[in-house]
Amino acid sequence: MMNCIRVLVVVITCFWSVGVSAKPVPAEFYSRMPAIYDAAISPNGKYLATVIDSKGKYIVRVFNLADETDKTVRVVSYGKNVKVGWIKWANNKTLLINTRQSEQASGVIFATSYLYTADVDLKNVRILLDPKLKAQKTGSRIVGHVGARQFNATVVDFLPDEPDHILMKFSKTTNFGGGVHKVNVNTRQSKEIKSGSTSIQTWTVDLNHEVRLGEGRREKGGEYRMTIRDATGSKEWRDVSEYPGITAKTTVYGFTENPNEMIIGARNGKNTRGIYVYDLVKKQRTRKLLHHDKYDASGIIKSADGRKIVGATYIADTTVRVIFDPNFKMMMDGLQASRKGFDARVIDITPDSKKILFKSGSPSNPNILTLYDTQTKTSQDLQYDYPEIGNSQQGDVTKIKYAARDGYKITGYLTTPPKIAAGMPFKKLPFIIMPHGGPNARDTKTFDAMAQFMASRGYLVLQMNFRGSTGLGVAHENAGRKNWVIMQEDVEDATRWLIKKGYADPNRVCIVGWSYGGYAALMGSLKNPELYQCAISIAGVTDLKDMIRDMKKYRFGKFSAKDFILRGFEDKDDIRENSPVKRAKELTVPLLLVHGKKDVIVHYDQYTRMKRALKKSGADISYLSFDNGGHSLKSFEDRKKLYETIDVFLAKNLGVSEAAP
C-alpha cells in the first residue's frame, strides 16, 4: 500500500510501507538526524521556520503559511563545522537562530554558542552579540581580558510583550558568570538590567518577565548559591538561607501568576520528586501541584501566552501531562484526538492558541511534524523525522521487568523485529543489549532509531533503566551513582535473564552502547566475555583516571568529577579495576571502537589510549574515527558510515538473523 503525505518543507514525497517480507531498508534511512531538526511558528501564525537536515547539509527555511501562492524560496545554510541549536521567532519579523561549535584553546576542546538574527526572507543574517570581550580598566589594573566569550546565546526571556527585545545573560568583561541584559534584536544594542557575579550562572524570570532568581556555584569550594528577589516592589535580593524549607540545590521551575509564589521541586518525605508551590512571603510550601509515587516530576506547562501555569509533567514510559486548566486541557485533548495512538509533543504555539506546531509518534512509528488549527480542529502533516521510513510500521516495543541478582526489579524496553509480531516463535534469537548513556539519563518507550535499525536486521534489542538512571526516584538513582559496579551488574543481569528465559540465543548476543553506554559495553565484554559474542563502544569512556583529569580542565570540573565519578568507586584501585584501558589486554570479544575527534564530552584521547592498549589483546578489533565528529556524530556522512559499519560488524559476529526480513 502506498501512503503519501504533503511534505511542505522539501517536496511532495511518497513512502512505501515496509512489510515483514521486504528487504532491510538501507542503514542510512535510520542513521540520519531527524529531517526536521527544529521548527517555529511566528506569533501571528503566518510564517513557519524550519531547520532541515538534507543529507547532512543543515539549512534554515521559512514558508509563508498565510499565502499558498507565495513561491519565494527563503533559505540560508549552516557552515560545515557549525552545529544546529534551535530556532525561535523573536517577533513576526525577526527569527533567532542558535548555533554551537567545537573550538580549541591551549590544547583543551570546548563548546561555544552563538545567536544570530534573520529577517523573514533570510537575507539579512547577523550575529546578535559580538563575542569579543572588552578589557575593563580599574585604576592602574586591567580587570578581565580581551578574548572570545564562550557563551553568546543564553536567552533568559523572550519578552513577548516587548517584541523588539529579549533578555540575555552575558558579561562584557569576563567569560564567567554574567548579568542580565536587555538586547534589541534589531539594533543589537544592549543594556544591563541586573548585574552579575561569577558565582551566578543562571537567571530566571517570573511570569511578569521580571528577573527574580539567580542560581550558580562559587569558584572556590564549589558551594551552590541561590539568590531571590522579593516581588513586593522591593529591589532587595535575599540569600536562599532566609527561606526555610529550600536550599541552593532546590530545583526551581519558575513562578505562578502570583509573583510571590515560586514553583519548586520537593520530595516531601517521598522517594520521588514532586512539584510544589513555595510562598516567598509566608516562607513555606503552601500546596502541591503534582507528586507521583513512582516517577519524578519533570517540568511545568505554561499557557500559550506564557501568563499562566496550566499543567505539570512526569515521565513514566512516555511523558505524561497533568493539565490543571480546563480550557488548555480541552485544546490539548483536541490536538491529541487528531493523532490517536500517537504521543503528541508541542514544539511551538501561537500566543492566541490558534495554531500549534507539534510532533507525534509512537514507539514503532517515527515522529511526524504537524500543524494543528484549534479553530477548525484540522491538522496538516508536514514532514517525518525519518522521511525515507515514513509511516511504515517498525518493530514493536514492549515494557519488560527483570530481577537483578539481589532481587531488585529493573524495568526496560524490548524492541522486536516485525516478524515477531507476525507470529514467529520468540525463542533463542540474536540479541543486542543496549545500555543508555549518561549514566544520569533513562530510556523511555519511544521511537529509538538505533534500536529500530537493529530490529530491521532481525536483531532483538533490550534497553534497561539500570540503577543510576534518572526519573525513577532518588533511591534508584543514588544506588548507581554511589556504585558504578552495580550499574554494570544490572546490565549483566539483564543479559542473563534473557538467556535463562530462553529468549536469547547464548551464542548470539552483542552489547552496544554510546557514551556511558559505550563504557558499559567495554566493561561488560571484559568482565563477562562468556556472555557476549561482540561489543560496540561509541564515544565511550575508557580511562576513568584520564576522564577525571579532563573534567578538571573545565570550570567546576573538580567538583563534577567528584560527584560524577569518584563517589562511585571505593578507591584508586577500584577505579583502575573498572577502567577498560587498564584491562585491554584481557579482551577476547570482537570489538568495534568508535569516536569523533571533536568530542567535547568524552575526549578523543580516550579512544587513542584504548587503541594503543588493545595492541596487547588478541581480540578481533575494528576501529572507526571521524575527523570532525562530536559526541553525537551529527554529520550525515559520519552517521551513515557508522551505521553501515555496525551493519557489517553485527552480521559478521552474530550472523544473519532468522527474524530478518
The string of DSSP codes covering 463-506 is EE--BTBSSS-HHHHHHHHT-HHHHHHHHHHHHHHHHHTT-EEE
Higher pLDDT, 144 or 471: 471
Torsion of the alpha carbons at 461, 466, 468 and 474, rounded to the nearest 10: 120
pLDDT tens per residue across span 7-36: 344 432 333 333 344 567 899 999 988 999
Percent of the chain whose predicted confidence (pLDDT) is above 90: 75
How far apart are the C-alpha atoms of 522 and 527, rounded to whole Å?
Answer: 9
pLDDT in tens, 311-338: 999 999 999 999 999 999 999 998 988 8
Instruction: Give pLDDT, residue 277.
Output: 98
Q: What are phi and psi of 475, to 5 degrees?
A: -65, -45
Kind and range of the H or E run holding 652 = helix 636-654
Percent of the chain exceeding pLDDT 70 equals 94
Q: What pLDDT shows up at residue 23? A: 66
Mean pLDDT of 68-83: 87
Query: Which pLDDT band, with edges at 50, 70 and 90, does 57 fall under?
Result: confident
pLDDT band at 265 (very low <50, low <70, confident <90, very high): very high
> Which among 484, 485, 493, 494 has a CA at the least distance from the CA of 461?
494
Q: What are the start-end ranges of the E strands in 35-77?
A: 36-41, 47-54, 57-64, 74-77
> Which stretch of DSSP H or E encloses residue 525?
helix 516-527
Q: What is the largest CA-CA distance in the chain?
A: 81
Strands 460-464 and 429-433: parallel
- Residue 269's contacts (CB-CB under 8 Å, 6 or more residues apart) are none
Backbone angles phi, psi at 558, to 5 degrees: -65, -30
What tens digit of pLDDT does each residue of 344-390 get? 999 999 999 999 999 999 999 999 999 999 999 899 999 999 999 88
DSSP-derived pairing of the beta strands 108-119 and 151-152: parallel
Range ranked top by mean pLDDT from 107-121, 386-400, 499-513 = 499-513
What whole-number distance in Å separates Cα of residue 313 and Cα of residue 112? 31
Give pLDDT, residue 369.
95
Q: What are phi and psi of 160, to 5 degrees?
A: -60, -25
202 pLDDT higher than 80: yes
Q: How confident is the model at residue 137 (pLDDT cuts 50, 70, 90)?
A: very low
For 444-466, what is the mean pLDDT? 96
> Is residue 591 pLDDT above 90, yes or no?
yes
> Check: CATH 3.40.50.1820 for 396-654?
yes
Separation CA 276–CA 259 (nearest Å): 15
Average of per-residue pLDDT across 222-245: 92
Output the DSSP codes for 198-258: TT--EEEE-TT--EEEEEEE-TTT--EEEEEE-SSS---EEEGGGSTT--TTS-EEEE-SS
Amino acid residing at 463: Q
Q: Are 264 and 254 in contact (CB under 8 A)?
A: no
Q: Choose the most confident range, by mean pLDDT, from 112-116, 132-136, 153-157, 420-424.
A: 153-157
Domain boundaries, the chain: 396-654
Rounded to the nearest 5°, which phi and psi values hold at 213? -145, 135
**Residue given cell 567546576 in the structure block:** 556
Mean pLDDT for the chain overall? 90
Cell of 270: 517521598
C-alpha neighbours within 13 Å on the C-beta side of residue 63: 18
Query: Mean of the pLDDT values across residues 57-85?
Result: 89
Cα angle 465, 471, 472 (rounded to 5 degrees) comes to: 65
Do 189 and 173 touch, CB atoms closer than 8 A?
Answer: no
Alpha carbon 304 to its chain's center? 23
pLDDT of residue 403: 97
Tell me phi and psi for residue 404, to 5 degrees. -75, 175
